[in-house]
Copies of this chain bind each other. A is one copy, B any other.
């Protein structure tokens, strides 16, 4: 009988600019043993997130990079297939940072259990997981939108942006989304009920964004950088807040970017408009705010005030292509890989 194997995707080489398929390699390794006091996990869904691009570079981001030859990092929804740990039974569904693989041994800290009866398990990687809490904490703790203010967010059909706008609406603010292409823009307005959505690919994008924000922008939730930031900057009101949670537009830029130097204009705006720019990673706020987030957002999904969308790719071997597509904005909704059928 053939030995059971684990499939995993490792970083084959560091990308220059946008990653290519050749930067990844599919490997097979022997199935690990159940660790004493631990769990053996079968990965059902792998989450694909923009932050993973940073881990592929050598430079330290907010976490140490993945070494060449190591398994790509990532969070997944898993089924417990063997347990030597009290409180976890075979068949339980858990969230774990397994990385890009089909199975994993887990001897680490406690894992969050998911109740498949309460919400679809994939939401633990999206609207009820890290992306959802990123939106919630950045918007409510840093952005602090007030009723009547205007909140703008890019990647508005994605897992973070979509929740930012819907939470902004719940706070009584005007929500203006930025998305790539008419289909996503339609979804943002019709399904997610933002007040407006602007296609950043339109040649008159900046003018349209300004027209959609007649009273300026009080909170800009920054997850892209680049040209969108340049369009938002002149619209920011005095005392505007800018939670900075991602800069996907510049993740694939290598080397020193050519001029003009846009830093002085941004700093001038920070000064003259008394802006707050605040970078953050959701874990900073988790201990204090995660329970309230889960409660608020679960309830709002249940009563229909919050909607979400997933973009699922089948098969671990297709994760690199799906990941590259996400960096280019080709996903439509939270990017997931179905590694195994539950």
Contact = CB atoms under 8 A, between A and B. Distances in A.
A258 B263 CA distance: 11
A114 to B, nearest CB: 28
A264 B272 contact: no
Nearest to A255: B260
B244 A270 contact: yes
A261 B263 contact: yes
A267 B242 CA distance: 11
Contacts of A259: 257-261
Nearest to A276: B278
Interface residues of A, number: 40
B267 A256 contact: no
A256 B263 CA distance: 10
A275 B271 CA distance: 16
A44 to B, nearest CB: 31
A284 B239 CA distance: 10
Contacts of A267: 222, 225, 229, 244, 247, 250
A6 B270 CA distance: 38
A30 B101 CA distance: 85
Contacts of A274: 62, 278-281, 284
B273 A279 contact: yes
Contacts of A278: 270, 274-277
Nearest to A251: B268
A229 B245 CA distance: 22
Nearest to A262: B263
A51 to B, nearest CB: 10
Copies of the chain in the assembly: 2
A237 interface: no
A272 B62 contact: yes
Nearest to A258: B259
B250 A264 contact: yes
A173 to B, nearest CB: 21
A266 B62 CA distance: 14
A15 interface: no
Given A271-B244, A273-B279, A279-B272, A261 B264 contact: no
Interface in A281-305: 281, 284
Given A257-B260, A260-B259, A271 B284 contact: no
A279 B270 CA distance: 5
Contacts of A275: 277-279
Given A278-B275, A278-B276, A260 B270 contact: no
Contacts of A273: 62, 279
A213 to B, nearest CB: 18
Contacts of A250: 264, 267-268
Max chain B C-beta neighbours (<10 A), residue from A238, A260, A275: A260
Interface in A23-38: none
11 contacts: A62-B274, A244-B270, A245-B271, A247-B271, A257-B259, A262-B263, A270-B279, A274-B278, A274-B279, A275-B279, A276-B279
Identify the 3 closest CB pairs spanning chains A and B, nearest first.
Answer: A259-B259, A270-B279, A262-B263
